[in-house]
Each structure stands twice: as C-alpha cells, then as structure tokens.
Chains A and B, each alone.
Chain A
Amino acid sequence: MINLEFITNTLSLGSLYAMLALGLVIVYGILRLVNFAYGELIMVGGYTMYLLTFYTPLPWLAVVVLAVLAAMVISLLTEQVAFRPVREKSLTAMLITSFAVSTILQNGALLIISPRARAVTLPQIFQTSVMIAGTSVPWRNILTIVTCIVTLVLLTLLLRRTVLGIALRAAADNFTMTRMLGVPANTVISTAFAISGIMAGIVSIFWIARSASVTPTIGLPPLLVAFVATVIGGMRSLTGAVVGGFVYATIISLLGVVLPPGLVEFREAFMFAFVIIILLFRPEGLIRSKTSVERVG
C-alpha cells in the first residue's frame, strides 16, 4: 500500500501543510500571537482568484501572483490597522483582535460576494496527471512539492543571507534586545506579516485547487491544520513548523490507509489522539528551541 502514489500524495500534502504552518509560526515566533485571522488570508487568495478569473482575461500565472500579493497586502493591513494599536497592551487583547479580524474578513466576503460557494476555474494542468513508473501522479501534487521546495529555499536565503532576515530570527530569540540594536519593531513585525501573507497566498492556490471553489468559511480547516502542525513541530521554531506539517500529513495519510473503511471518516479524531500522545512525550513539540519565552510588551 506504500506505493509511489501514496508517497507523492503524502509529500504533496506535507508540502502544503508545511507552508501553512510556516506562515502561522513566523508571526507567532515574534509576537507570541496565534493569528486566528490567518485562515482568512487563504480565503482572500481564493476570492482574488475567483474575481480575476471570472471578470478579467488575465492569464493564470498573473492571477496566481496577484492572489499571493492580495493575501500579503491584507495581512499587512490587518497588522497595521488591527494588531499594531493593541500590540503594547496584552497578548489576550491581540488574540481577541485576531478573532475579530477573522470574523470581519469572513463577513466582508459574505456581504460583498456571497455566502454561497463560488467556482474558481483552474487551468487544465490541475486536473491532469502524468505517468511515472506506471503510476498516475497528478500534476497538482508535483506542483505543490516543487513550489514548497522553491519557497523553502527562498525563505531560508532570506532568513540567513539578508540583514532583515537575520533580524527576524533575532527578534524570535529576543525581541527587546533586537530593538536595542536599532532594529525597528515595526519593520520586523511588518516583514513577518508580509511573509505570513505570502505563505497563505501560495497555500490558497493549492487549497482552492482541491475543491475548485471558495466560500467565506474556507479559512477554518487550513487554520486548524496549521495550528496543529505547529503544535506538533514546536511553536517556536520554523524548522518545527515544516517538520510538523510533514508529520501531520504522514499520520493523516497513513490513517487513511490503515483504518478500516468504516472508520476512515473519523480519522481526524485518531489524528488528534496521536497529537495528544506526541505532546505527552514532547510537550514543547518535536523541535525544541533554545530561546526563552518572551513577548513584545
């Protein structure tokens, strides 16, 4: 049962979940905020694709790029309008704000577009497969894996080779000390939200491609996946997010294979049982970080 199809499916799902988790953890690492409006950025990406494919003749590549940009811009806007004013207050205030932002964005989509699902027309490549070693592998899976690799390489280069990237990692270690070296808090936080939005935008392409439609509530399942993946991997490390994404995908794929048919629909429940077991033995997640718990305040 562990054949090429299973492996590519799992790798593609893991790639998607890893990118999802990264977008959530990059903000958490610096602000200690679980941004519950993160799922709505995927919704924003989805609706951008819907609107652009429906109303404009733009080529698909342009649509995809604009969808990613839209998610990034909305992410930056939520930071400036909603999170920045409450940042100095308390973590709880930021958490509640993230719920509010999530609700506002959802209701906005509901009012402006429609509560009903909207079909997103995808290019042919998302529906076709290629034969590799006698197995039919969907192009969508290959694209997801390649995109994940490219994204991870670019993100690693940014975080290791640029001063801004180094400052981002430093801020995750110790935000106050980073500021005392002259790094502006707003620059660091804006960059984190921009990266988070870009990740959500990229994920939205592949997430929407699975159902070929977008709804106002589409953001909740990916948010949960991202949250659980980061908890498994370790909330305080980007490596942990990637590991968590792949572990989540592997467990859920294996459950789909090993569970008897009558139980497959309950595999989320089994999944959470696994998460609890992991957390019992590694309460900090699989990847531990050396850094202290600290928050902007």
Chain B
Amino acid sequence: MLELNDVHARYGAITALRGVSIRISQGELVALLGVNGAGKSTTLGCIAGVLRPWQGGIAFEGGSIAGKSPEQIARLGISLVPEGRDIFPSLTVEENLRLGAFTRSDRTEYRRNLDEVHDLFPVLKERLQQPGGTLSGGEQQQLAIARALMSSPRLLMLDEPSLGLAPALVDQIFELIARLHQHGVTILLVEQNVDRTLDIVDRAYLMNTGLIESQGTAEQLRSRADIESIYMGVGRQAKK
C-alpha cells in the first residue's frame, strides 16, 4: 500500500533521513521505533507532504506521492495525527471534527463517522460546542485522532500519540489503536514506548540517526539483542 524507497530528507544543511525504505501492506499495523532525533517524525512528514524528500521515492497504492502537496496527499486518504496533537484551539470540538471530514462530501458517511467517533470518544460528544483549546491534554489527543478518523483514512499515521499523557490514558490510547487495527484500518505508528508498541503491532522498524537499523515482526524484534541499545536510549529519554 505504502512504499518508501531510499528516502533522503534534510532541513537546510542538516540531514535528517539518510535513505529510509519501508513498506506497509493494506490492513497492517506497523511501528517506527527509535529515540528522539532518529528521523521518525521526519519520515511521517515526508509521507504527509509537509517535507519534500531530497531524494528517493514514495509510492502510495502504486502512484508516486513524493513532492505532492499536503492537501493532495490528504485527498488520497493519508491522514497524519502529528506529535503535539495540533488540534485547532479556537475552533469548537464539532468544528474540528467537521474539518476532519473536509475531503469527504458524502452526508451519510459523515453522520456514520461522527456516530462512530462519538462511540469511541464519549467525552468529545459532551464537549462538542467547547473550543478545542479548553480541552485537557488527553481529550485533545482523542480529538486529534477522532478528527483524523472523520476522513475515513486509508492510511492513518500517528506520531507519538501517548506522549505526555497520564498512564491510564496511555492504556486507553494503545487499546484504541489495537481496536482500530482490528477494524481494518492501516496504521503507521511512531512511538518511543517500545514495550507497549510491540504488544500491539504486526511489524516494526527500528530507526536511528536517519536510517532503518533493523526490522521484523514484533516477536523477532523482542528476541533480538540489538534492540537493547534502543531500549537503553528510550530508558534515558523517559527519565529526563
């Protein structure tokens, strides 16, 4: 479904990606793991069209999307929930959700998605008329995911959805991701919470300094020794 082939990217003089190749099939839940600065968010940015790859190809359902604008890519059914959530603080919860469905023109699909989102996130239903900026961090994260779901995405990309959330909420978010996966949504998940992530994903890629260091199924990665270094990195990050 999605294939990145030797993608390089840079911010000005700083090289962020040095040849990243990943592929995701329809219905898979795949994780990108690694420490801060490994290039995980940059990879998602390249797929979403926020950052133009310096070199390399990105194909989605057979067509090249490298260099396309974010709005074109969103219309193809790729939806990114960025790190830090990025909900619209001055828009109400309802308006946030309505914009999430911007690419969909079908009224009945809109109603159906809205009902689904209300079922998944009952707290949002209570706060429909509240400005997004007045929600708590956990509620904002739920809103950001809900907003992405409103577009019936073919590929959902989540950038550290558990970041900065209370432990109970982290559980909820991971459960939700697993549930979405069971419903058949294709998901690319970026996380630092390696243990929790390997519990729910099919496969994962380990990134470090702009490169894919290793990859495999969740079980394979757990048993590998080289994942130790990544764990150590995460451990240090978490203590900070």
Interface residues of A (CB under 8 A from B): 163, 166-167, 169-170, 172-174, 176-185, 289-291
Q: How far is the CB of B151 from chain A (nearest CB, A)?
A: 7
Q: How far is the CB of B96 from chain A (nearest CB, A)?
A: 8
**26 interchain pairs (CB within 8 A)?**
A163-B98, A166-B95, A166-B99, A167-B102, A170-B91, A170-B95, A170-B96, A170-B99, A172-B90, A173-B91, A176-B70, A178-B88, A178-B99, A179-B70, A180-B71, A181-B99, A181-B100, A181-B151, A182-B71, A183-B102, A184-B69, A184-B71, A185-B71, A289-B90, A290-B131, A291-B90
Count chain B CB atoms within 10 A of each CB in A163, A169, A172, A180 and give the residue with the most.
A180
Q: How far is the CB of A145 from chain B (nearest CB, A)?
A: 28
Contact at A169–B70, with CB atoms within 8 Å? no
Q: Pick the contact of B80 from A173, A180, A291 — CB < 8 Å?
A: A180
Interface residues of B (CB under 8 A from A): 48-50, 69-71, 73-75, 79-80, 82, 86, 88-91, 95-96, 98-100, 102-103, 131, 133, 147, 151
Known: A180-B70, A181-B99, A290-B131. 20 other contacts (CB 8 A): A163-B99, A166-B99, A169-B90, A169-B91, A170-B95, A173-B90, A176-B50, A176-B70, A179-B70, A179-B71, A179-B74, A180-B48, A180-B73, A180-B82, A181-B100, A182-B151, A183-B99, A184-B69, A185-B69, A291-B90
Q: How far is the CB of B76 from chain A (nearest CB, A)?
A: 9
A171 nearest CB neighbor, chain B only: B88
Contact at B90–A166, with CB atoms within 8 Å? no
Q: How far is the CB of A120 from chain B (nearest CB, A)?
A: 40
Contact partners of B102 in chain A: CB under 8 A: 163, 167, 181-183
Contact partners of B73 in chain A: CB under 8 A: 180
